[in-house]
Amino acid sequence: MTIARRGLCLVIAAPSGAGKSTITRALLAEEPGLTLSVSVTTRAPRRGEQEGVHYFFRSPEAFAAMAAGSELLEWAEVFGRGYGTPRAPVEAALARGRDVVFDIDWQGHRQLRAALPDDVVSLFILPPSLAELEARLRARGADAEAEIARRMAAARDEVSHAPEFDCILVNHDFAASVAAARAVLAAARLATGRQTGLAAFLGALQAGA
């Protein structure tokens, strides 16, 4: 017998270049019960990014209409572009007992917490140093020099919000960071409040089923 439970929202935030996307991808590959929340954005696709896989790429007008129509669970402006989380897939997944991972910023984390207070567990990933972060951003090679300078300033701001998160991890080592993120997920799945079928399970257990 198993206990029916509601899904949870695992929010992973970090300054860009801290390794968040790689860790999230590894988590998704190793955790079959986990689904990625694909955000909507008004920024242009980077090389290799696919519609509906990495983001839903939308015009500012279409994005504003989604926000105004309450189709987004949260949304924020990051680097002057709109980013938001489509509501319907998240609500459907949670009701089905599936867990959802979110690659969003601190503003999205705050709003998601307010919208779904019992469903969120959050993890902030810190780089070992800001110098290392800058090196990683350059190695990625996807952004222009001005964009890197902008992202470094934003990184300092993002890092200042780390204390708002449930768990903090310094990404020294990729494999260790993935293992730690999986541990956060495993513990959150066991929270008593999420075990919606607990009473039924205990009843059956005590009846000798």
Interacting residues toward ligand 5GP by CB under 6 A: 16, 39, 43, 74, 76, 78, 83-85, 103-105, 107-108
SS3 8: coil
Residue (70 or 192) nearer to ligand 5GP, CB: 70
Least Å from the CB of residue 78 to ligand 5GP: 4
By C-alpha distance, which of 189, 177, 172 is closest to 12?
Answer: 177
CB 115 within 8 A of CB 75: no
3-state secondary structure 48-70: CCCECCCEEECCHHHHHHHHHCC
Least Å from the CB of residue 104 to ligand 5GP: 4
Question: At 74, phi and psi to the nearest 5?
Answer: -160, 155
CB 13 within 8 A of CB 106: yes
Residue (31 or 143) nearer to ligand 5GP, CB: 143
Least Å from the CB of residue 76 to ligand 5GP: 4
Residue (19 or 84) nearer to ligand 5GP, CB: 84
C-alpha span between 50 and 33 (Å, rounded): 23
Q: What share of the chain is helix, strand, coil (3-state, %, to 5)?
A: 45, 20, 35
Least Å from the CB of residue 191 to ligand 5GP: 24
> Residue number with the shortest CB distance to ligand 5GP?
108
Residue (5 or 102) nearer to ligand 5GP, CB: 102
Least Å from the CB of residue 183 to ligand 5GP: 22
Residue (5 or 119) nearer to ligand 5GP, CB: 119
